[in-house]
Structure 1
Amino acid sequence: MKLFKPDGLPFPWIKNNPGLVLLTGVVDLLGGIGILLPAVLRIRPVLTVFAAYGIIALMAIAIIFHVSRGEAKNIGFNIFVLSLAAFVAWGRQKGPENNIPH
């Protein structure tokens, strides 16, 4: 939605920050690709863990952004995505194929 229909999103900051909307849309898309492709294609699955860490950072920044603008009621989805990314990072770094030192 951020890339193709940003005007349809219900957030007031979108009209004031079109560059930020585009940037976060690209980062969201890259994070989704980074979560899926390495695991599905079984090519460097450790990249899935790094993508999950990136999504965790993005969601933490989004939560701070919304709270600083007085939009704390809008952070539920960010918390949900952050939790999912943390679960993926935790689960994927446990696998022996990742060879991540603990």
Structure 2
Amino acid sequence: MNIVLWILASLLAAVFLAAGAAKLAQPKEKLTASPNMAWATGFSPGLIKLIGAVEVLAAIGLILPAALDIVPVLVPLAAVGLVLVMIGAAATHARRRETQAIVTNIVLLAVAAVVAWGRFGPYSFS
């Protein structure tokens, strides 16, 4: 199960690193031109950058603390943070009636919840 948790955390980290980096690197106008990012029209550029920064930090927090064996409790905390981000994302997409995006949010939420459960519980790094 430890290997499965590493794989899940790595996949989550890759997804959120890419998504967060895109939000940080591109202006709001370019992001909102994409059909997958239409939700960004209702948010300020600063808030979009904040969401991107949270996603990048969570991606780093899923891997580096455990890999370097420095405060590995940050791994499940990062996963819990992503659960909260996905709850907010699902609520935003529900308000906009974007059902396909909600499914993606729920899948990512579930994966993050499994990582949090495993790393807080029976497969912690302690």
TM-score under structure 1 length normalisation: 0.81
Identify the residue that residue 36 of structure 1 maps to in structure 2.
Answer: 63
Query: Which of 94, 102, 126 is residue 75 of structure 1 equivalent to?
Result: 102
Q: Which runs of 5+ in 1 are unaligned?
A: none
Superposed CA deviations along residues 58-79 of structure 1, whole A, max 9, x for unmatched, are 1011101110122222122212
Deviating beyond 6 angstroms after TM superposition, the runs of 4 or more aligned structure 1 residues are none
What is the alpha-carbon root mean square deviation over aligned residues? Answer: 1.8
Letter in 1 for 2:106: I
- Matched to 1:75, the amino acid is I
SS at match of 2:25: coil
User: Larger relative CO (CA 8 A, sep 6+): 1 or 2?
Assistant: 2
- What displacement does 1:96 show? 5.4
**1:1-102 alignment to 2 at 5 Å?**
1-5=22-26, 7-8=30-31, 9-10=34-35, 11-17=37-43, 18-93=45-120, 94-95=122-123, 97-98=125-126
Unmatched 5+ stretches in structure 2: 1-21
Q: CA deviation at 1:16?
A: 4.4
Query: TM-score normalized by structure 2?
Result: 0.68
Residue 4 of structure 1: how far off its partner (Å): 1.4
Q: Greater helix share, 1 or 2? A: 2
Q: CA deviation at 1:27?
A: 0.7
User: 84-93 vs 25-34, which deviates more?
Assistant: 84-93
CA contact (8 A) 2:118 2:124 kept: no
Deviation at 1:21, TM superposition (A): 1.5
The answer to whether the 8 Å contact 2:66/2:125 transfers is no
